[in-house]
Amino acid sequence: MNHTAHILGAGGIGIAAGVCLTRAGWNVTMVDSNAKKIEAGKRGGMSVDGQMETRAKFILFQEWSPPTNETILLCVKTFDNGPVLQRIANMEHLVPIQNGFDPQLELLHHPAEAIASFVSECDADRPATRITRAGALHIGARQDMTEANQERIHTLASALAGGNLFAVESVANIRPFKATKLMYNAAISPLAASAGVDNAQLLIDPLAQKMFFALLRENYSILKNAGLEMQTIGPFHPDTVMRILRTPMLPKIMGVFFRPSLRGTYCSMSPDMGSSRTEVDAYNGHLIRLAADFPCPINRGVVAMVEKISRERLAPSHSHLRELAATLARGVRS
């Protein structure tokens, strides 16, 4: 049986997923709004880590006709969801693979989602990506699924796993994994992107490390206070991570252990800094809304920092973290 998938977003995750599905024999259509990337895909196909794959169709989003009964993987950034979701009629076949929480998407009734813990960095104008940090793709239900939906997601998960680019873990409930990924993303992305450093620097630079650990603790507290379950992504469960952060000297020791796996891995928010659109609202903004009256001063400070950088078109700099730290310190003293 021939399977077909339309992948919205020819970025790092979209290209990696597309390569896996083409290797599994699926008919894949890559859809993107970047005309240069689409033309490059038509000429030379797509690649992961330099290995070329040429069996996908490439089409501009403006020229794309959404299918009604074929798998659609939503791999665009959350701030691009609006125009996409307006055009999709059948949400039964929609499977988002995104970081963060989009309020518009949360209201829809698609049965399943996926979340990636590997890092895939794509060229700006070519469908060529590099997996810079190994990890898994968790895929599973976000609500009760019919047998047909379960079979469809099982088939998709098997095909993605067959691509041998990343591990694929089918889970009964995707929401606890999304919550854990949010805890990390909302700490890593705004700090690394604002400072203009790779993810490993958050464990090397003293101020960045201090802010990173403090934001992790606050994110965890917000999620716990909201009564959300979290699951393991990476080597430790979030409960274990918090015990480590509360143990004197142990965080710095663990930081040394994890630096090599993060060195050279980019932050997906970095290319958007200084523009009018970032995913800070889908990360830290979502946590602030979730917190309601629960204290979340660091997240509020982070949102203000990123919005200022965007509003004033500022360059990423370590000085933004120093300013954030000073603002938070003044708040504590007052």
Query: DSSP secondary structure string, 33-62?
Result: S-HHHHHHHHHH-EEETTEEE---EEEEGG
Residue with tokens 């949102």: 303
Nearest to 78 by CA among 231, 230, 286: 286
Nearest to 117 by CA among 256, 16, 45, 250: 16
DSSP state of 283: I
Instruction: Give the bridge partners for 8, in sequence order.
Output: 31, 74
- C-alpha distances in angstroms, 235 versus 88, 101, 209? 37, 24, 19
Q: CA angle, 326 as apex, 324 and 329 as ends, to 5°? A: 110
Contact 170, 139 (CB under 8 A): yes
Which pTM value belongs to this model? 0.93
Domains of the chain: 4-173 (3.40.50.720), 177-333 (1.10.1040.10)
Contacts of residue 61, Cβ cutoff 8 Å, sequence gap at least 6:
8, 31, 32, 33, 83, 84
CA–CA separation, 126 vs 45, rounded Å?
Answer: 9
At residue 168, what are phi and psi to the nearest 5 degrees? -120, 125
Q: What is the pLDDT along the chain (334 residues), one digit of tens a residue?
A: 689 999 999 999 999 999 999 999 999 999 999 999 999 999 999 999 988 877 799 999 999 999 989 999 999 999 999 999 999 988 999 999 999 999 999 999 999 999 999 989 999 999 999 998 889 999 999 999 999 999 999 999 999 999 999 999 999 999 999 999 999 999 999 999 999 887 777 878 889 989 999 999 999 999 999 999 999 998 889 999 999 888 887 666 666 556 555 555 567 888 888 787 899 999 999 999 999 999 999 999 999 999 999 999 999 999 999 999 999 998 765 4
